[in-house]
Chain A
Amino acid sequence: MNPCRNAIFALIALALTSAGCSFSYSSASISDSIASSSKSVSDSISSSSGGSSASEKAYREDVRDYTARAVKDKRSVEALEAGLPGVAETHGVTDWEADQSTWLGVGEGLRKAKATQEMVDAWGQKLSQGGASRASAARLIQQGYAPDPS
């Protein structure tokens, strides 16, 4: 074993490895998770002029896009329902049934996927079954589905 040759190989390997794409959890992203340097948490819950916080808008957008994708993939309403907790938890939401953004996002997703009114009615009816938490689900889904008045 030639130590000099090994050192050169190690340097080349290091250069090639690190020349690649950014790693998902870099040292910087880890240190940012210990102490975000720029008030990121307060920014995420601050309301914009529209009244919704960045975190609320981000959650609703994800529900919308997840729903749209489910419709395009011809998944069932049950499959959509099974996936919603996962989407919600990435936003720190456990009680997604009680969060209006969930149902508004589902309605917006149905609109995005160009679902028919019949489908909206059927999904709204199915998703609003099952207790007080979902009492207004069908109405909110319809509200999200309806085109903007403007």
Chain B
Amino acid sequence: MLCVAAAVGAQRAAAEESFVDFLYIDANEDSASGGHVALRLGDRTFHFGHHAPGFLRLDRDDSATFERVYGTLENRNIRILRVPVSPEVHARLRGSFNERFLVESEEFAALENLARDRAFATAWAAGRPDVGVRGADYFGAARTPGARGEPEDVLLRLRRLVLARVGSEALVGMEERARRTLERLAVEAREPIAVLAAEGRHPPLGYGLRQRASDARSMLEALDVLERAAPLREGTWVEIPAEVLPVEGRLRERLAAHAQRIERGLIAAFSSPRRDLGFVVLAGMARLRAIERSLQGGRLVVLDVFPQQAMRISVAEIGRQGGRLPLIAEALAGELVEVGGILEERSLWRESDYGALELLAGRYREIHRAIADGSDVRVLLRAPLPDREARRPIGEIGVLPVDVASRRIEALQARERALSTRLLAQHRYHLLDHNCVSELFAQIERAVAEPGVAPREASRALLGGHVAPHEGLSFIPFVGAASFARELPVVASIEKPSYRRRRVAKMVSEEGMVARLRESNVLTSTIYIPNSLDSSFLFFTDERVATRPLFGVANLLWGVAATAGGLPLAPFDGGQRLASGLRGVLWSLPELAFFNVRKGSFFFVPDESGAGMRQDAPGAS
């Protein structure tokens, strides 16, 4: 149904105002089976998620990724409740959510750092002090006889230019400072550890002994690599066949220009006061080496940006989850070519532009390696960084006396406990009291708060309405969305159907009702691939409400049969079929009462366009 008035009103408003989009994401099995909510503010979408071991934290995705993950791969319907606001209010909301995201990220990083500091102190006390040196793994172990390779021009040139800029005394001075830093650590270890900042204050990132040791060791490593003009270590780079992306013509020129830019940055960096200079220099030198290889060989060579401890997923598991490696490889090759084309046209590359090449090349290699030899596929869940770490001993720091070590480890434990307790108090997840819905409404309240003004009034003044975070049943996602639609001036309610529904609608329009019949079940569907993440079921029940109980009975029987069939197989498949059958029974039960949760999901969906959007009158759902 299309409400023309609403659409026209929305378009008019779009020309004059900004929008806040409240997203209600339909239920499906896996996580968030009760549904989910999020706030879309332009190209960023904010939502609260459950993080181990029991935290409720603000997550941030770019809006296209959010829609792809929830609407396409998780195959959920998304209802968008659109509220017009002034650009100032939009910026205020976005800034508030974003600041919170950054603060939270830093707080949890501080907690992780304390755990690492404690591990470092423990190893030091045991007489085995070592640190991780980011970027060092690309060059192999320093000063190891036989590891020295043939010096290559690019680092010799860099060394000459650095010496010309800062002089050899400066490099000697840097080495001496790094060694002194390491030698002083045993003395500094006797100093008390600062107490945690007062409640409610953003705790500053500490610069603990481990980090100081790591930075100093990185500097020594970087100077050593520069001195030796060390080659890349075998196995630390990724090579893309020239048939996929040849390094020639303009791409070659752009790569050479980017190498010059890295070189200029490195020369300038040698006079920088930054603490982590060693890492920056190692990363830059490794990239220079990779580009050098690309230019020499005519095929793209980039650093392997997957950390050593990257999550891995087996080929068998990808298959069970419905992934088809050749299709994924084809899509990645296409995107590599596209990114190469974009970068050919860009005269000046940013670091993240080159990082995009590293990321895609890494993904491409992972899939092709898996196809070739069945090895596990590594997963990169963060931005690509050339930071493969190597452990390095730091004998310079001497011995840590037992009494000093005990005091330090105890102090670190106390600080870790205090920060953990505070974070749990602030961010503890609770299914009913403190979940993704209540905290989203609470954060909206905070964003529009005015001193001396009641939250309800402040929200009404800026947003035109208010939903209290803990009122009634609004902690339930669909109730919260209904409250939002009722209380705020929603000008458009837009439904974005799930991926499967979009595809079925398109097929029905092209082929007629035969397509609907064919796609109604998992046996004949051409869209859906049964997979291990979904429970055992036969019919899709997310489209037709009237037939839901009937299909639900069929699904229930299918689940029972799968359970019975899975029982004898349990010793052989780890109980997977049994669990799938049991889950099939569970998610069939709501269908008997006209409710749908299960919708199926997808491991991989090629680029799709022309996704149908449906606009309803405000409040319709």
Residues of A whose CB lies within 8 Å of any CB of B are: 7, 10-11, 14-16, 18-47, 53-56, 58-59, 61-62, 65-66, 68-70, 73, 75, 79, 81-83, 85-87, 89-95, 97-99, 112, 129-134
Task: Specify which of A24, A83, A87 is in contact with B51 (CB 8 Å cutoff).
Answer: A24
B181 at the interface (CB under 8 A from A): no
Q: Which of A33, A68, A91, A99 contacts B381 (CB 8 A)?
A: A33
Interface residues on B, range: 35 or more
Q: Which residues of B contact A99 (CB under 8 A)?
A: 350-351
Tally the A-B contacts, defined by beta carbons under 8 Å: 261
B352 adjacent to chain A (CB < 8 Å): yes
Q: Which 6 residue pairs are nearest across A and B when measured between Cβ atoms?
A: A131-B271, A130-B273, A132-B268, A92-B383, A28-B73, A21-B436
Q: A86-B109, A90-B382 are in contact. Are A19 and B34 (CB under 8 A)?
A: yes
| B68 & A94 in contact (Cβ 8 Å cutoff) | no
Contact of A95 among B284, B435, B606 (CB under 8 A): B284
Question: Contact at A92–B385, with CB atoms within 8 Å?
Answer: yes
Residue contacts A-B, CB under 8 angstroms, 11 given: A10-B582, A22-B49, A28-B30, A39-B338, A44-B356, A59-B352, A68-B95, A79-B205, A81-B274, A82-B207, A89-B383
- Report the nearest B residue to A85, measured CB to CB: B276
Q: Which of A27, A37, A55 contacts B352 (CB 8 A)?
A: A55
Give the one of A15, A35, A45, A61 with max B CB within 10 A. Answer: A35
Interface segment, one of B7-15, B100-108, B118-126, B186-194? B100-108
**Complexed CA–CA distance, A24 and B378 (Å):** 18
> How distant is B75 from chain A, measured CB to nearest CB, in Å?
9
Given contacts A56-B350, A94-B280, A97-B269, contact A33 B385 (CB under 8 A): no
Q: Which stretch, B58-66, B140-148, B151-159, B229-237, touches the partner chain A?
A: B58-66
Query: Which residues from A are CB-within-8-Å of B270?
Result: 131
CA–CA, A68 and B32, complex, Å? 34
In angstroms, Cα B591 to Cα A114, docked, is: 55
Contact with A86, one of B62, B68, B69, B205 (Cβ below 8 angstroms) = B205
- Indicate which residue in A43, A62, A95 contacts B265 across the interface (CB closer than 8 Å): A95
Candidates B50, B269, B280, B606; contact of A24 at CB < 8 Å = B50
Interface residues, chain B, CB within 8 Å of chain A?
25, 29-34, 36, 43-44, 47-51, 56-57, 59, 62, 64-65, 68-70, 72-74, 95, 98-99, 102-103, 105-106, 109, 201-202, 204-205, 207, 265, 267-276, 279-280, 283-284, 311, 313, 318, 321, 323, 328, 331-332, 335, 338-339, 342-343, 346, 350-353, 355-356, 359-360, 363, 366-367, 377, 379-387, 429, 431, 435-436, 533, 582-583, 585-586, 601, 603-608
Chain A, Cβ-Cβ closest to B367: A35
In the bound complex, residues from chain A placing their C-beta under 8 Å from that of B607 are 37-39
Q: How far is the CB of B581 from chain A (nearest CB, A)?
A: 11
Q: Which residue of A lies closest to B25 (CB)?
A: A22
Contact call B436/A22, Cβ cutoff below 8 A: yes
Chain B residues lying within 8 Å of A86, measured Cβ to Cβ, are 105-106, 109, 205
- Report the Cα distance A46→B338, complex, angstroms: 10
Contact partners of A92 in chain B: CB under 8 A: 351-352, 355, 359, 383-385
Q: Is the interface of B mostly helix, strand, loop or mixed?
A: mixed
Give the residues in chain B near A25, CB-CB below 8 Å.
381
Note all chain A residues with C-beta closer than 8 A to B102.
62, 65-66, 69, 87
Beyond the given A28-B70, A53-B353, A82-B205, please list 19 additional residue pairs across the A-B interface where CB-CB is below 8 A.
A15-B586, A16-B431, A19-B33, A20-B34, A21-B31, A23-B31, A28-B69, A40-B62, A42-B339, A42-B356, A44-B352, A45-B342, A54-B43, A59-B352, A66-B102, A69-B99, A87-B102, A89-B383, A131-B272
- Chain B residue, CB-CB nearest to A19: B34
Minimum distance in angstroms from A49 CB to a CB of chain B: 14
Q: Are A18 and B31 in contact (CB under 8 A)?
A: yes
Nearest CB of B to A60, in Å: 11
Residue of A11, A24, A43 near B64 (CB, 8 A) is: A43
**B328, A34: Cβ atoms closer than 8 Å:** yes
Q: How far is the CA of A28 from the CA of B74 in the complex (A)?
A: 6
CB contacts (< 8 Å) of A26 on chain B: these are 30-31, 69, 74
A85 to B311 CA separation, bound complex (whole angstroms): 24
A21 and B435 contact, Cβ closer than 8 Å, known pairs A33-B381, A65-B95, A130-B272: yes
Q: Which residues of B lie under 8 Å from residue A98 when comparing CB positions?
A: 265, 268-269
A34 touching B366 by the CB < 8 A rule?
yes
Q: In the complex, A56→B43 CA distance in Å?
A: 13
Nearest CB of B to A117, in Å: 22
Closest B residue to A64 by CB, please name it. B95
Q: Are A19 and B431 in contact (CB under 8 A)?
A: yes
Q: Name which residue of chain B comes closest to A97, CB basis.
A: B272
**By CB atoms of chain A within 10 A, which of B50, B72, B350, B586 has the most?**
B350
Among A16, A68, A95, max chain B CB count under 10 A is at A95
Q: Are B323 and A31 in contact (CB under 8 A)?
A: yes
Given A24-B50, A65-B99: A37 and B272 interface contact (C-beta under 8 Å)? no
Residue of B25, B33, B48, B352 contacting most chain A CB atoms (<10 Å): B352
Residues on B with C-beta less than 8 A from A46 are 342
